Amino acid sequence: MNKNLLPILRCPVTHKGLSLMRRDALKALNAAIESGELRNRGGEPVTGPLAEALITDDGKLGYPIDDGIPVLLETAAIKLEQSA
């Protein structure tokens, strides 16, 4: 993902800023995805590991990055308390 976009990107739900998810947090998120119990805000199961993700400044929501493109749809958001 082009990191120059980060200052202008905002969460469509909370309007908070976004940053790239750290590797350790991404590893924990992928472990939760692998367990098969993680769902996005649209109610769909999150499948497949994420190579990259964005996280809101408050750390509550994550957004997948698909092939370098952030998926900033409300239904694609992942409540990160599920992966804790």
| Residue-level length of the chain | 84
pLDDT given at position 84: 60
Average the pLDDT over 67-82 and give the result.
Answer: 93
Contact 54, 18 (CB under 8 A): yes
For the chain, the domains span 3-83
**Residue range 15-36, pLDDT digits in tens:** 999 999 999 999 999 999 999 8
Strands 53-56 and 18-20: antiparallel
pTM: 0.91
pLDDT given at position 61: 96
